[in-house]
Amino acid sequence: MKSLPILRSIGAVVGSATLLAACQANPTTSSNASATSSYFTSRTTGVQTGGVQLVPITTPKGTFNVWTKRFGNNPKMKVLLLNGGPGATHEYFECLENFLPAEGIEFIYYDQLGCGNSDNPKDTAMWSLPRYVEEMEQVRKALNLTNDNFYLLGHSWGGILAAEYAFKYQQNLKGLIISNMMMSGPAYGKYAHEVLAKQMKPEVLAEIRQLEAKKDFANPRYMELLLPNFYQQHICRLPLALWPEPLNRSLGKINQSLYVTMQVPSEFGLAGKLTHWDRSRDLARLTMPVLSIGGKYDTMDPEHMAWIATQVKQGNSLICPNGSHMSLYDDQQTYMAGLIKYLKAVDDGSFQPGTKL
């Protein structure tokens, strides 16, 4: 998907002798400044890299480096982010910088192998769900994430990966957030064909089907049809010209080899290696606090995503009423408020299962 031209907003960092003087004179301001200083304190010595850490990953095909970047410092709350795609990058999570730091919540960007700033072995045999789970476990160990502080947030494909990790290694987790993802590939395909497709104009759907039948996914007409009729309705419900720059930047860097191998180019359901993936019957095995997030206009079935929270031992759901697949952008205030509420509740022990945030 090509990036759309869009203005990039520039954040300003303010620091001056006047501000320092005000902090000294105002205890509250001084306290806030102290908290901010603690949040951005580096835990490493020597040359500073802005929180970036390359993690060597051992695989059957050799050792590769994956890219991570810590944002903030909170020994009690560390949220590792798993991007979607499959094959996109961490970059569309950059909007979290406007919300989580103010709450003192540390988060960690992570480009999975083959994505973004991480190594790309260019070997489709490496695009495997079990291998990615083991990669994640190596990342967890390298970053010293434990069940006292480790929260895992997986969005879209990242939600599949997060769930698979939890099924095998949930003893390492303090909390799990499955964002905008169903727990069944076949159920997703059924929803896409029986609900989403039928919302399109018949003539538009017919042309899309013709292109897909021919596997003519590279035809510019295919994306020309999908952008206004599917992406703007179910991926991000903002005018295409106003799609956020980090989102465009991330989608513009998708590893097509990874995406096609795992899902196949069609947007109507899971295919490829994920065709038969289904963990809906295993959800009762998850015992840590789980938050399932979805959007009313999502590519995923919102009823299914709410249902996930009822199947785990301790679950809450958050269905963003104005959101789609990118609810973190098109219903942003709802998404962020619910996410923060969940993280703080698990942290302070006030989490109540069965709550709709």
Catalytic positions, written as ranges: 156, 298, 325
Cα–Cα distance, 264 to 260 (Å, whole number): 4
Cα–Cα distance, 99 to 3 (Å, whole number): 25
Cα–Cα distance, 292 to 307 (Å, whole number): 9
For residue 248, with 0-12 CB atoms within 10 Å meaning exposed, 13-18 middle and 19 or more buried, which class applies? buried
Please provide the DSSP assignment of 73-90 as one string. Answer: --TT-EEEEE--TTT--G
Cα–Cα distance, 106 to 103 (Å, whole number): 9
CA neighbor of 157 nearest in space, from 120, 194, 114, 123? 114
CA neighbor of 234 nearest in space, from 191, 274, 185, 183? 191
Q: 110's torsion region: left (phi>0), alpha (psi -120 to 50) or beta?
A: beta
Cα–Cα distance, 244 to 299 (Å, whole number): 19
